[in-house]
């Protein structure tokens, strides 16, 4: 499989049309991830294509790609505003490197003036927080990863 620019543009358009957060395709030693960044302009295929074209030329296996998130995603169950802490100026629920337990509150998503506590479904270490405090989030958007 050859990841040509036209093909990548079609995938980026599909993300917008179907409101997907990301598409990951792998074929042998080639891999491509197209991810929608919420709160920004619609997906642009050309900037996404540049790193993908460089990856197949590299000798190391794509499994060593450090840009690929590690762990299970914690996603937003609704459209709203992401809050990392229980109140302004308070200590965040979690930060990268923290160990969490299943059922532990990891953030809040405010929707229609209601504060909805988001709990981790798994125990593990927070490897990445994908949104900024106060940022608007979409249904299904990845908030963080726990490994």
- Where in the chain are all domains bearing CATH 2.40.50.100? 72-146
Residue 38 has what pLDDT? 59
Residue 147 has what pLDDT? 92
pTM above 0.95, yes or no: no
Residue 39 has what pLDDT? 54
Residue 66 has what pLDDT? 54
Residue whose entry in the numeric block shows the structure tokens 């491509």 = 32
C-alpha 63: how far from chain center: 18
Residue 125 near residue 98, CB atoms below 8 Å: yes
Q: How does DSSP classify residue 48?
A: H
Cα four-point dihedral sign 24, 54, 8, 74: positive
Strand 142-146 relative to strand 114-119: parallel, antiparallel, unpaired? unpaired
Residue whose entry in the numeric block shows the structure tokens 């074209």 = 53
Residue 11 has what pLDDT? 75
Report the candidate in 68, 61, 52 with the shortest Cα–Cα distance to residue 2. 52
Strand 124-129 relative to strand 22-27: parallel, antiparallel, unpaired? unpaired
Query: For the domain with range 72-146, which CATH number is right: 1.10.357.10, 2.40.50.100, 2.30.30.40, 2.40.50.140?
Result: 2.40.50.100
Q: Which residues make Cβ contacts (< 8 Å) with residue 40, sequence separation at least 6?
A: none
Per-residue pLDDT 10s for the chain (147 aa) are: 556 777 777 777 777 777 777 777 776 666 777 777 655 444 444 444 444 444 445 444 444 445 666 889 999 999 999 999 999 889 999 999 999 999 999 999 998 889 999 999 999 999 999 999 999 999 999 999 999
């Amino acid at each position: 499989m050859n990841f040509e620019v036209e093909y990548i543009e079609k995938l980026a358009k599909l993300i917008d049309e179907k409101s997907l957060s990301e598409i990951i395709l792998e074929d042998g030693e080639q891999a491509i991830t197209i991810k929608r960044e919420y709160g920004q302009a619609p997906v642009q295929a050309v900037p996404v294509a540049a790193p993908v074209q460089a990856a197949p030329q590299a000798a190391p296996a794509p499994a060593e790609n450090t840009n690929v998130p590690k762990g299970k995603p914690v996603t937003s169950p609704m459209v709203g505003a992401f809050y990392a802490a229980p109140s302004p100026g308070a200590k965040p629920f979690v930060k990268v490197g923290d160990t969490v337990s299943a059922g532990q509150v990891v953030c809040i998503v405010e929707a229609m003036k209601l504060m909805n506590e988001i709990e981790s479904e798994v125990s593990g270490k927070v490897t990445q927080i994908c949104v900024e405090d106060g940022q608007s989030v979409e249904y299904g958007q990845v908030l963080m990863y726990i490994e």
